[in-house]
Amino acid sequence: MAASAPPIPDSPPAEHDRRVQTVGGVFEPPSGFVLAALARNKLMICAFALVFALIGTAYGLSRQKTYTASATLQVGQVNPNSPGFYSYVQSASALAGAFSRAITAEPVLAAVQRELKLTPARTVGRLSAEPILQSPALRVTATGPSEPSAIQLANVGANALINYEGQSNSANPEAETLLHLYRDASIKLRRAEANLERLAHSVSRKRGTPTDVLAPDEAEKNAAEIRLKAIGVAYTAAVSSQAPRSGLVTLLAGATSASSNRRSKVEQFGFIGLLVGVVIGCAAATLRERRRSARQLSAAMQIEMPRSEPA
């Protein structure tokens, strides 16, 4: 009995069968399809990246330049040979942080408005200040559409901050109150002296009038004198305890030049355009390969359908 012939092995799958497959009649790419699509369409991806990078660069060049200038202020007077130099640096650094927050104070904005005719809203958006770490100094930064405008705003803002801090820290509210009290006490003393003089003149014209009628007016005059003297002493002490108006914050280095953000903006938008171009190029390459593979699968299925029909 002759041995049966061995079964004929199935023919190897076609090339398009190894690349594509269908799930429920819907094209489904195999694993590694995306990487293969990107590898076959490198030039298209590079073209998309280049085009969008050029678009981003052009947009960065079309934007208006913004110039930035800065002035440096110093808190107090630095004396490295002083025994308390290190403690001074620590305390002055804390003061620099507090003083930097006063850049948006109403008197500072009003001074800038008088000098440069800028509204407070515009000034707040263009003027800022921050302390310099580990140092008794702070930096006032200003921006503007041109280099002179940025430099001018930085210097005017720095001077306005110096004047504001000098006035606010040297002013003593108690001294102002005592000055008003001194004026009132001085007026009352003059009135008491005038009343006593008028009453004394009247008593001298009338003979036989006892002189003790002048005692209440004399007591009022003496009390007014003592009150005026006491207020004067308190006012002198309050004024003497005030800090000096100059030297608390000084200008260490004024703004003399300004830098433009043109280069950074061009690089930023060019890089963003490059990334967008790469993403769009990858998506286009994947879609292109999906469509081509789907067409190949459809053509292969049309060729194989007649072969599967029974004889």
State pLDDT tens for residues 70-106: 999 988 765 555 544 455 556 677 778 888 888 999 9
Between 4-13, 31-40, 134-143, 217-226, the lowest mean confidence (pLDDT) is in 4-13
Expressed as residue numbers, the domain containing 219 is 173-240
The pLDDT of residue 143 is: 92
Closest CA to 106 of 173, 161, 170: 161
Same structural domain, 35 and 130:
no
Beta bridge partners of 75: 249
Quick check: is 11 in a domain?
no
- Do 250 and 108 fall into the same domain? yes
Contact assessment for residue 92 and residue 84, using Cβ atoms and an 8 Å cutoff: no
The answer to the question of residue 250 being in a domain is yes
Residue 299 lies in a domain: no
Specify the pLDDT at position 79: 54
* pLDDT one-digit tens code per residue, 160-191: 998 888 777 655 667 677 778 888 888 888 88
pLDDT level of residue 22 (50, 70, 90 thresholds) = very low
Please check whether residue 185 lies inside any domain of the structure. Answer: yes
Does residue 292 fall inside a structural domain? no
Domain of 114, CATH number, reads 3.30.70.1130
Over the stretch 241-273, which tens digit does the pLDDT of each residue have?
555 555 578 888 888 888 887 788 888 889 999
Shared domain for 183 and 166, answered yes or no, is no
Based on the domain organization, do 204 and 153 belong to the same domain? no
Coil vs helix vs strand at 119: coil
Q: Are residues 82 and 38 in the same domain?
A: no
pTM of the model: 0.53
Tell me whether residue 88 is in a domain: yes
78 and 163, same structural domain?
yes
Residue with token string 């640096």: 89
Which pLDDT band, with edges at 50, 70 and 90, does 199 fall under?
confident
| Terminal Cα distance for the chain, rounded | 30
153 and 78 assigned to the same domain: yes
Q: Confirm whether 178 is domain-assigned.
A: yes
- Same domain assignment for residues 119 and 231: no
Residues 131 and 251 in one domain: yes
232 and 204 in a common domain? yes
Q: Which residue has the tokens 């000034």?
A: 123
pLDDT tens profile 26-83: 445 555 677 888 888 888 889 998 999 999 888 888 878 889 999 999 887 655 555 4
Torsion of CA 253, 153, 260, 97, to 10 degrees: 60
For tokens 């269908």, name the residue: 22
Asked if pLDDT for residue 16 goes beyond 70, the answer is no
More confident residue, 10 or 177: 177
157 located within any domain: yes
Question: Which has the higher per-residue pLDDT, 29 or 304?
Answer: 304
Count of structural domains, the chain: 3
**Do 141 and 255 have their domain in common?**
yes
What SS3 string covers 132-201?
Answer: CCCCCEEEEEEEECCHHHHHHHHHHHHHHHHHHHHHHHHCCHHHHHHHHHHHHHHHHHHHHHHHHHHHHH
Higher local confidence (pLDDT), 174 or 110: 110
- The reply to whether 129 and 249 lie within a common domain is yes
